[in-house]
Amino acid sequence: MNTQHFSTKERILGAAEQLFATHGFAGASLRQVTAAANVNLAAVNYHFGSKENLINEVFRRRLDDLNAHRIEELDKAAARTDSDLEDLLSAFIRPALDLSLDRTGGGAFIRVLARAFAEHNDALRKFLSDNYGHVMKRFHAAFAQRLPNLDKEELYWRLDIIAGALTYAMADFGVIKRKTGVTEQTHRERAVEHLIRFAAAGLRAP
Amino acid sequence: MNTQHFSTKERILGAAEQLFATHGFAGASLRQVTAAANVNLAAVNYHFGSKENLINEVFRRRLDDLNAHRIEELDKAAARTDSDLEDLLSAFIRPALDLSLDRTGGGAFIRVLARAFAEHNDALRKFLSDNYGHVMKRFHAAFAQRLPNLDKEELYWRLDIIAGALTYAMADFGVIKRKTGVTEQTHRERAVEHLIRFAAAGLRAP
DNA sequence: GTCTATATTTGGATAGAC
DNA sequence: GTCTATCCAAATATAGAC
């Protein structure tokens, strides 16, 4: 991530992602970030204005893509008349799995997301809600259509739990050593299947 | 938590627990902690030596109790010949549920635990491993006895995931507003049941 | 044990030369 | 756009009086 053929901005984002994953938002200093990115300390404020905005941009870079894929998969599932709860859950969960498996830092980003859940940071939650609330609304609507007896707020609440469980599982799996070669991907695939079954059962509960 | 009829040490621990839950270990300063505890800034270093040690003591205060209850429940389950996987899981999970429901800050502590998972802090992990590794060993042995075909390392790995899922669920549930009175406890009870089924299925997977 | 005062370090942010 | 140098605030930690 700190090779020279990426732009300064990209190198900062990559280094920040890694360090936020490891030390947290408060724990990783801009000095650590700029040193790892091999750029000057002042570059962060020049390109991003502030540390808080840098944090937001770390999210934006990945979430734009992730949520676009989710909407894409949701549209596919919604177009089919025979799609069920599991298909909707898959549309939400599979893109996150793919991201966690990519080789350009996606695994680190998933750990950053896990931290965001733990943070309960109001500014961060507002940013996520402002920018990606519409994705949750789309999924909420799709689930609500298939679960007409479930209270709307209860549904939001359960989707939040599912997002949390997914993030945690992906972040934790990131620590596992892939001893026997293919295992890493296989394990995550299985985790996703378990999650989908678990989440579907949870959603169907009265 | 910051009333005068607790000792300085206890007030610091309570305030630290609350603030670590809200802002994280790096994010909560000793100045915030001592102000909330209504004690002098220097008191932390006098009573605990350092911030890192204060963090450790926040864990010790709750985990000693939590793990004692877990061992107690495990012994009860192990004594019965007809106990199954679900009983062992219950011995592990129920004491955490009880803690999350207590009224002296247990809910905040569960959020602190969730942060510890996200931290991946080596010093903290070593502290937890040194002081509570024997509890995981006891559970590992009990599960291994009932799952003789499962690889030992695989089992450790899965128990870790279960601990993570439990912690996350409890921490997240902590945010929910109990609108209709009894709901809070009922919801957590249900979450625990889901978790146990989920975990048991995961453990039985090949 | 508790306080005030302070040493020391570190962090975020910016000014101004290039 | 990038660098050096620096400002200022905040943090951990300690010394020493009470």
Buried b or exposed e, range B131-150, using 16+ CB within 10 angstroms: ebeebbebbeebbeeebeeb
Residue A118 and residue B190: Cβ atoms within 8 Å? no
Whether residue B178 has pLDDT greater than 60: no
**Interatomic distance B33 CA / C14 C1' (Å):** 31
DSSP B52: H
| Mean predicted confidence (pLDDT) in B109-138 | 86
Query: What's the mean per-residue pLDDT of chain B?
Result: 88
Whether residue A181 has pLDDT greater than 80: no
B199: tokens are 């975990």
Highest mean pLDDT among A78-87, A174-183, A190-199: A78-87
Residues A14, A104: Cα–Cα separation, whole Å: 9
Closest-approach nucleotide to residue B29, Cα vs C1': D11
| Mean predicted confidence (pLDDT) in A64-71 | 96
| B172 touches A at CB < 8 Å | yes
| A205 C-beta neighbours (distance < 10 Å), count | 11
Confidence of residue A179 (pLDDT cuts 50, 70, 90): low
pTM score of the predicted model: 0.91
Residues B64, B71: Cα–Cα separation, whole Å: 11
Q: What is the pLDDT of residue B156?
A: 82
CA angle A170-B62-B160, nearest 5°? 25
Q: What is the pLDDT of residue B181?
A: 63
Whether residue A178 has pLDDT greater than 60: no
| A76 touches B at CB < 8 Å | no
User: Is the shortest CB-to-strand distance from A51 to strand C under 7 Å?
Assistant: yes
Highest mean pLDDT among A66-80, B117-131, B142-156: A66-80
CA distance A116 to chain B (A): 10
Whether residue B162 has pLDDT greater than 60: yes
**C chain positions with any atom within 7 Å of a protein CB:** 1-6, 10-16
Residues B54, B111: Cα–Cα separation, whole Å: 17
User: Is the shortest CB-to-strand distance from B129 to strand D under 7 Å?
Assistant: no
Query: What's the mean per-residue pLDDT of chain A?
Result: 88
Contact at 8 Å (CB) between B50 and B92?
no
Instruction: Say which residue, A152 or A54, is predicted with more confidence.
Output: A54
Residues B87, B74: Cα–Cα separation, whole Å: 8
Q: What is the pLDDT of residue B2?
A: 42
User: What are A39-57's pLDDT values in tens digits?
Assistant: 999 999 999 999 999 999 9
User: What are B79-123's pLDDT values in tens digits?
Assistant: 998 999 999 999 999 999 999 988 888 989 999 988 888 887 777
Among A87-101, A129-143, A169-183, the least confident range = A169-183
Confidence of residue A141 (pLDDT cuts 50, 70, 90): very high
Buried b or exposed e, range B52-65, using 16+ CB within 10 angstroms: eebbbbbbebbbee
